Amino acid sequence: MNMSEQMPIEQFLTNVECNCCKSRHTKSVFLCRERFAQKYPIPGLKDYLFSIVKCTNCGLIYVNPRITNSTLEDIYEKCLVSEDDFREKTIDPFTNPFLAKLHTSLEIIHPAGKLLDIGCGWGHLLTYFSSHGWDVTGIEIDEMRYQHCLDQNLNIINRPLHEIEITEGTYDLITSVQVMEHLPDPLGTIRWARKALKPCGIFVVEVPNYLSISSIRHKRDWHILHPVEHIYYYTYGSMKALLNAGGFITIHKPSPVNHFLEINPLLEKATLLMENWLGIFIDNLTLFARKSR
C-alpha cells in the first residue's frame, strides 16, 4: 500500500489486546501526538491524538489503537534514519560504558559463547563482544544499518524475527537493547528467544523506563513518547511479567557481591528487592533473565 495516498488515518490503525495477559480491559493514561509526524507519509498523522492505555489486569502500558504491523514494517524498510541515528553510527563501541558494564556483569555468570543481538542497529554491541571472544550474530531489518554491519564484517540476518527459522538451543546469550518498545509482539519475541537459547541461557533486555524521573517530570513531553514506533512503555514490573510469561526467570544484575550472596536465599531476595527499588527511577531498565527449565 502506498502510504502517501490520501486515505483516512484510521486505515493505518489497529486495536490490539494486551500482549502479556490478552485482556482487552484498559484505562486511559493520556493522549499524545506523534512529535515526528513529518517523518512519516501517513495522512492526518500530525493532528491525530494517540491513546496511551494501561491494562487493568496486568499493568502493561501501550498504544491503542496503534499503527498496523504492515505499516510499521513498511516504515522500517524505508530506512527512515534521523540525524541522531547517524551520530550514533559514529560512536566508538569501546568507549560505551553500558557495553563495558554489561560485559563485566556477564563474565561473572557465563563464559564467552554464542551471542545473538536482536535489533543490533549499527553493530556496536556485536563489535564489542566479538573483541572479547564471543561468536556473535545480529538481526537487523533496517537496510542502511544492515549494510553498515556487513561492511564491518559482522554476521547479520536481514529478516524479521517471525521469518527466521531457529534451531532450538543455539545461543548462550541473547540481547535486546532499546528494541522491545518497538515490537508489535514482545511476548512472541521473548518466547522465540527462549527457544533459541541453550538450557539455562541468558536473555538481557534493556528498555526505557516509564517510571523514570525524566518520564514523571516531563509527562507528555517525555522524549521517549513516540507512539508510531514506540508502542510499549515498560515498568520494571511489566517487563518482568512479560519475561516470566515467556518462560524466563528474572535474576538480579550479576556482580561479585550479588554472586556471593546467591549462597544465601534470604540475602539474595533482600538484595534483589533493594536493587529493584533503588533502580526504579533510572532512565533505562536492564533486566537479566535465565531460561527456565
Virtual torsion, Cα 198, 247, 73, 153, nearest 10 deg: -20
Residue 269 counted as domain residue: yes
Do 76 and 97 fall into the same domain?
Answer: no
**Opening angle at CA 121, ends 116 and 124, nearest 5:** 75
Contact between 248 and 289 under an 8 Å Cβ cutoff? The reply is yes
Q: What pLDDT does residue 260 have?
A: 42
Do 101 and 203 fall into the same domain?
Answer: yes
- Final residue of a domain: which of 26, 53, 83? 83
Question: β-strand 284-291 against 248-251: which pairing, if any?
Answer: antiparallel
Nearest to 118 by CA among 7, 194, 31, 18: 194
Number of domains in the chain: 2
Do 54 and 133 fall into the same domain?
Answer: no
pLDDT tens digits, the chain, 293 residues: what are they? Answer: 454 455 789 899 999 999 999 999 999 999 999 999 988 888 899 999 999 999 999 999 999 999 999 998 888 776 555 545 555 666 788 888 889 989 988 888 888 999 999 999 999 999 999 999 999 999 998 888 999 999 999 999 999 888 998 889 999 999 999 999 999 999 999 999 999 999 989 999 999 999 888 888 888 889 899 999 999 999 999 999 999 999 999 986 654 434 443 444 555 455 445 545 555 568 899 999 999 87
Concatenated DSSP letters of 134-165: -EEEEE---HHHHHHHHHTT--EE-S-GGG--
Digit-coded pLDDT (tens) for 125-165: 999 999 999 999 999 988 889 999 999 999 999 998 889 98
Do 79 and 121 fall into the same domain?
Answer: no
Do 98 and 69 fall into the same domain?
Answer: no
Do 176 and 54 fall into the same domain?
Answer: no
Do 103 and 244 fall into the same domain?
Answer: yes
- Can you point out the beta strands (E) in 178-282? 197-208, 232-233, 248-251
Q: What pLDDT does residue 268 have?
A: 47
Residue 56 counted as domain residue: yes
Residue 273 counted as domain residue: yes
Do 93 and 196 fall into the same domain?
Answer: yes
> Long-range CB contacts (< 8 A, 24+ apart) of 192-197?
192/161, 192/162, 192/166, 193/118, 193/246, 194/246, 194/247, 194/248, 194/291, 195/166, 195/168, 196/116, 196/166, 196/167, 196/168, 196/169, 196/170, 196/171, 197/169, 197/170, 197/171, 197/172, 197/173, 197/291
Please give the Cα distance from 65 to 8 (Å, whole number). Answer: 14
Q: How many CA within 13 A on the CB side of residue 84?
A: 2
Residue 214 counted as domain residue: no
Residue 95 counted as domain residue: yes
Which CATH number characterizes residue 136's domain? 3.40.50.150
Burial class of residue 189, CB neighbours in 10 A (0-12, 13-18, 19+): buried
Residue 207's φ and ψ, nearest 5 degrees, are -140, 155
Do 127 and 157 fall into the same domain?
Answer: yes
- Final residue of a domain: which of 52, 83, 114? 83
Do 149 and 254 fall into the same domain?
Answer: yes
Residue 1 counted as domain residue: no
Residue 286 counted as domain residue: yes
- Final residue of a domain: which of 44, 65, 83? 83
Do 134 and 248 fall into the same domain?
Answer: yes
Contact between 83 and 14 under an 8 Å Cβ cutoff? The reply is no
Do 36 and 99 fall into the same domain?
Answer: no
Strand partners, 197: 171
Digit-coded pLDDT (tens) for 215-257: 888 888 898 999 999 999 999 999 999 999 999 999 866 544 3
Give the Å distances, CA to CA, from 141 to 138, 163, 226: 10, 11, 20
pTM of the model: 0.86
Q: 15: domain range? A: 9-83
